[in-house]
Amino acid sequence: MTYISLEYYILVIVSLIVYYFLPVGRRWIALLTGSAVFYCFAASDIRQYVLFVCTIALSFAGALWIEAVPEPKKRKAVLWSVILISAAPLLIMKVTGILQGHLREGVERIPLIVPVGLSFYTLQIISYLADVYRGKIRAQRNPLKYALFISFFPQIVQGPIPRYEQLGWQLFEGRNFNIDNIVRGSQRILWGFFLKLMIADKAAVAVNEIFNNYRDYEGAYVWVAGILYSIQLYTDFLACTTIAQGVAELFGIEIVDNFRHPYFAVSVQDFWRRWHRSLSEWLRDYVYIPLGGNRKGTVRKYINLCITFLVSGLWHGEGIRFLFWGGLHAFYQIFGTCTAPLRNRVCEIVKLSEGTFSRRLYQTLGTCFWVMTAWIIFRANSLRSGLHMIRSMLTVVNPWVLLNGSLDSIMPYQEWVLLSASILVLFFVSRAQEKGSVREWISEQHLTVRWGLALACIAIIMIFGTYGFGYDAQAFIYGGF
């Protein structure tokens, strides 16, 4: 069951009906049941379910234990023990993945039980335990309510990674029925479908072809693949978050924004303030700051930055190329900080004043280039192939393939036109969102305009979307992390 499947929306509608029919104080039970059913369908193996439930039970008891221990040293020991046990499945998966990644083909690999959403709920549990330890929140006394917080179905598979103080109370306090929530939630879901089926999955056709046959495609093709993969990954993840937000909104629950137009960033540092914000904030609060952050001098700051980004790389995947990708982002930031005075001086000489459109444009294009280069490593089938592609991108000159119809062999030209048009829509919507709320603007329009927009969106997705027979539906990319 995926977030764009018919079955998922049947579950959502049934849960919604039950939710609003139950007394306000009992409405969380509908969410818990929905989450349990969702996980049943999402998990391919009963052992995944058992492991998931055991982790919830253990971390629930662990949090109560942390709270009950008065002695600070012992408390810390309990915290670390519970974190280590709760995170053990994720750690085992990562370490085994790295070790097995070096095995030759044909050598039997150890089959692992990987529960759905493991990477996301493990971080959620760690932040919960750490917050209980720090006294920021009180441990939840009701195991079922705690289970709901960890397993809330709209976001269990791909996040965002919620904080207990932000999400918990919204889940447990029943919300009153408000038709505006239904309308606004549905709008978000529709936009999520547009992002997924009109951009992410369409781009995936070209991206998969070029990355999987990278030796046949050089130069301009790699540029196309790199740009499209950057857009695919963003829209795919944004679609999932948007759909999660939309479904939660149907229940009157607000889930935090996970993105703030990352490709408008003016530096790599800015990019990480806009990309997968719930993860970035988690890494900041539970890795970077506890390591000392920027409080212990420049060298320690850079070391902490490297560790944080290596953890981020490891979280994203098991291969060595993910560590490389994380390290590359740390390097970008350190290099960016070190060279900032020099770059500012150059800008002064060429009269690129701070705050001007031209300066921002160059900064944004530069950031996008560095981020895209790192995404190529991230998406490539191996570190070696990723480096090969980057070299080809920078050394092979063949721009004519963009103009002479060669791209049609990858995807029919009509699909290229649709994809380009959809990306333009995303660009203009993002620009508008930077200035204000697009949803507010829509809500101020006349009924015919609002309905016309929604119906047009449904029709476009229905007819032109990349889905159904003949297509391999792309699983949401971040669900694999």
Per-position DSSP letters for 34-80, written without gaps between them = HHHHHHHHH-SSHHHHHHHHHHHHHHHHHHHHHHH--SHHHHHHHHH
C-alpha span between 43 and 155 (Å, rounded) = 15
Per-position DSSP letters for 7-29, written without gaps between them = HHHHHHHHHHHHHHHS-GGGHHH
- Cβ–Cβ < 8 Å for 242, 188: yes
Q: State which of residues 343, 458, 475, 480 lies at the interface with another protein (CB under 8 A).
A: 458
Q: How far is the CB of 38 from another protein (least distance, A)?
A: 18
- Cβ–Cβ < 8 Å for 251, 216: no
C-alpha span between 193 and 45 (Å, rounded) = 28
Tokens of 304: 């902490």
| Closer CB to another protein, 183 or 383, in the complex | 183
Max distance between CA atoms of the chain, in angstroms, equals 73
Among the residue ranges 71-79, 80-88, 217-225, 465-473, the one whose residues contact another protein (CB under 8 A): 465-473
Of 138, 231, 236, 146, residue with least CA distance to 479: 236
451: number of Cβ within 10 Å:
11
Among the residue ranges 106-114, 127-135, 261-269, 457-465, the one whose residues contact another protein (CB under 8 A): 457-465
Residue 469 contacts another protein per CB under 8 A: yes
Give, in degrees to the nearest 5, the angle at Cα 172 between 167 and 177: 95
Which residues 90-149 are close enough to bind another protein by CB under 8 A? none
Residue 397 contacts another protein per CB under 8 A: no
Which residues 4-63 are close enough to bind another protein by CB under 8 A? 6
| Closer CB to another protein, 414 or 437, in the complex | 414
Instruction: Tell me the number of residues near another protein by CB under 8 A.
Output: 22
| Closer CB to another protein, 403 or 463, in the complex | 463
Q: How far is the CB of 177 from another protein (least distance, A)?
A: 9
Q: Quick one: the chain helix, strand, coil %, rounded to 5?
A: 75, 0, 25
Instruction: Please name the residues in contact with 292: beta carbons below 8 A apart, sequence gap of 6 or more.
Output: 300, 301, 304
Q: How far is the CB of 466 from another protein (least distance, A)?
A: 9
C-alpha span between 406 and 391 (Å, rounded) = 21
C-alpha span between 380 and 226 (Å, rounded) = 10
Q: How far is the CB of 180 from another protein (least distance, A)?
A: 7
| Closer CB to another protein, 274 or 450, in the complex | 450
- Here the contacts of 341-344 (C-beta below 8 Å, separation 24 or greater) are none
Residue 182 contacts another protein per CB under 8 A: yes
Instruction: Please name the residues in contact with 200: beta carbons below 8 A apart, sequence gap of 6 or more.
Output: 231, 232, 235, 236, 239, 474, 477
Q: How far is the CB of 74 from another protein (least distance, A)?
A: 54
- Cβ–Cβ < 8 Å for 157, 117: yes
Amino acid sitting at position 381: N
User: Buried (b) or exposed (e) across 1-30, using 16+ Cβ within 10 A?
Assistant: bbbbeeebeebbeebbeebbeeeeeebbbb
Residue 405 contacts another protein per CB under 8 A: no
Which residues 421-450 are close enough to bind another protein by CB under 8 A? 447
Q: State which of residues 115, 465, 476, 478 lies at the interface with another protein (CB under 8 A).
A: 465
Q: State which of residues 14, 274, 454, 481 lies at the interface with another protein (CB under 8 A).
A: 454
Q: State which of residues 41, 331, 464, 481 lies at the interface with another protein (CB under 8 A).
A: 464
| Closer CB to another protein, 335 or 413, in the complex | 413
Q: How far is the CB of 473 from another protein (least distance, A)?
A: 10
Q: State which of residues 46, 77, 462, 475 lies at the interface with another protein (CB under 8 A).
A: 462
| Closer CB to another protein, 5 or 81, in the complex | 5
Amino acid sitting at position 309: F
Q: How far is the CB of 471 from another protein (least distance, A)?
A: 8
Q: State which of residues 143, 290, 297, 412 lies at the interface with another protein (CB under 8 A).
A: 412
| Closer CB to another protein, 50 or 455, in the complex | 455
| Closer CB to another protein, 150 or 197, in the complex | 197
Q: How far is the CB of 422 from another protein (least distance, A)?
A: 14
Residue 172 contacts another protein per CB under 8 A: no
Q: State which of residues 180, 254, 408, 434 lies at the interface with another protein (CB under 8 A).
A: 180
Residue 252 is given by DSSP the state T
Task: Supply the residues annotated as catalytic.
Answer: 316
Contacting positions for another protein (CB under 8 A): 6, 179-180, 182-183, 412, 414, 447, 451, 454-455, 458-459, 462-465, 467-471
